[in-house]
Structure formats: C-alpha cells, structure tokens
Chain A
C-alpha cells in the first residue's frame, strides 16, 4: 500500500579545521498511509569526520 511523506528541514553545521564536523537539524514532516495521517517535528544530531 502506498505511503508518502512531505516535509522540510533546516540544519546548521560547524566544521573544525582538523576535519571534525558537528550538525543539528530540525525536520517537519507529514506522513500519510491510507486513512492515517500524522504531523511531526523532530530534532537530529550528527558528528562526522571529513577525510
């Protein structure tokens, strides 16, 4: 059965001179599956290294 989600995100990222990066993100989405529908806002976090 078909499902879909539409939304948008906004993230901010800082990268240190030695390659490490830190990022935070807010995402808003609307998930639909048949008769069901739900809106949600979520917060995500990431740490990464750029080789």
Chain B
C-alpha cells in the first residue's frame, strides 16, 4: 500500500479545499417582491422562482473575509385567503424559510386594476434560518527566524440561528395594463444567536463583538 500516504494527502487537500476560509457570518434576506396588488378572489395561486440576495455580515476580522451580498435561488408560493389578503411561503438554498401575509388596504385589486391605478399594502413576515459551517482558518508559518517554524492553523465549527420578523409598506403604480412598478420601506428585526467550537474543544457563544 505504498500509495496510502499519497491518497491520505489527497483526501486532506480535498477536505481542506472544501472547508476553505469560511468566516463566521450572519445574513438577512433582501429579497422582497411584494406586489401590493392582491387578487380579489380567494384561493388564487402564484408560484415563483428567482434569484434573491442576502446581506452577509462577517463577525470576525480577517482580510480574506467576504462582505456584501450573496445570491441564492429561491422558490415561493402565494395564495389568497380572502379578498385582498394573501399568504406566502418561500425558501432559499441558504435554508431560510419565510412565511408572510400581505393585506391590500388601498386601490383596485389585481382583476380590476388598469393603467394608472395606485395600490397600497402592508406585509408582515417571519423568517427562520439556521446556518452552520465547518471552517478552516488557514495555516501560516510563524517564528521563522531560524530553521524551525511553527505551523499554525485552526479549524472548527460554527452555527447560528436566525429568527427575524419583517414589516413593510408597499405602494405600486400601474404603468400599463401589464406593467407595474412598486416598492417601499421595510424593517426587519430579530434574534441572531449561535456558537462557535474550535479544535481545542472550546465552545463560545457568537457575540456581536466577535
């Protein structure tokens, strides 16, 4: 089995590549797509696929850290419960699940709206997301002033759970019978909690100060 060391090394390289530098981070969804025009008929169904974004906030200082947005595919289903009231559920590949309700309180509903219509609605939502990841902080040689260098590397595991509530006000204007523009302000708030375990078996809660 002279190839055993080679195979072992290869496996380690693949494993470490898969667990490349993955800083501890938290994220919140920035996909909205809440058209304030809601159907006036109950049990009206809409199914959607798309690419959505999540704002990622790294909570460890590292020059290699990525900050900003990451894009995830999502699937979403909407159904009207009664005139102007819609329930939605969506999920993305980051494991986030979002449940929301939307109520149109102003303007013509989808079936009656024509060019020039202005509608308004508010939305309430709840998002649950659990993210966990093995990480490898990379290795580095320190104290290399002599022939002897200390190789330092760290690996471990982190997990955080996100429970976020969401409220928004949306306004639309119907440009033509088939084109609509809409948007508005939103506010999300909730709890982000988790822990981080390192190779030396220490486990610490994730705090906002890293």
Q: Interface of A with B (CB < 8 Å)?
A: 1-17, 21, 23, 25, 27, 29, 31, 33-36, 38, 40-51
Contacts and interface: CB of A to CB of B under 8 A. Distances in A.
A44 B50 contact: yes
B161 to A, nearest CB: 11
Q: Is the interface of B mostly helix, strand, loop or mixed?
A: strand
Interface stretch (B4-12, B136-144, B178-186): B178-186
A12 B180 contact: yes
A2 B188 CA distance: 11
A34 B47 contact: no
Interface in B82-110: none
Given A9-B32, A15-B180, A50-B45, 9 more contacts: A10-B183, A11-B35, A11-B181, A13-B180, A21-B48, A31-B28, A38-B55, A44-B51, A46-B48
Nearest to A46: B50
B193 A11 contact: no
B20 interface: no
A14 B187 contact: no
B203 interface: no
Contacts of B178: 14-17
B33 A25 contact: yes
A42 B49 contact: no
B32 A11 contact: yes
Given A3-B190, A51-B46, A40 B181 contact: no
Nearest to A3: B192
7 contacts: A2-B191, A6-B185, A9-B30, A21-B48, A29-B30, A31-B55, A46-B49
